[in-house]
Amino acid sequence: MNTTELRQKDAAGVAVEVKALQKAHFGLRMQKGTQQLTNTASMSSTRRAIARAKTILAEKLAAK
């Protein structure tokens, strides 16, 4: 998800997106553990997406 799309959402919407990204990252970690993950670059991209979403969420909560 783009930063512009995340910034358009409210704090609750961004929090839902963070949870979804964390769930996706957990699935990737399980795939890596069972040797089923073929695209290992997806782990770092989801980790960065989680950090991006958490940063935007912190900005929104601080602005209140």
Query: What tens digit of pLDDT does each residue of 7-27 get?
Result: 999 999 999 999 999 999 999
Helix axis angle for 11-33 and 41-63, nearest 10°, is 160
Q: How far is CA 3 from the centre of its chain?
A: 11
What's this model's pTM, rounded to 2 decimal places?
0.93
| Tokens encoding 7 | 């910034």
| Domains of the chain (ranges, CATH numbers) | 3-63 (1.10.287)
- Looking at every residue in the chain, the average pLDDT score rounds to 96
Closest CA to 1 of 19, 25, 17, 23: 17
Q: Which has the closest alpha carbon to 47: 24, 17, 31, 30?
A: 24
- pLDDT tens digits, residue range 22-59? 999 999 999 999 999 999 999 999 999 999 999 999 99
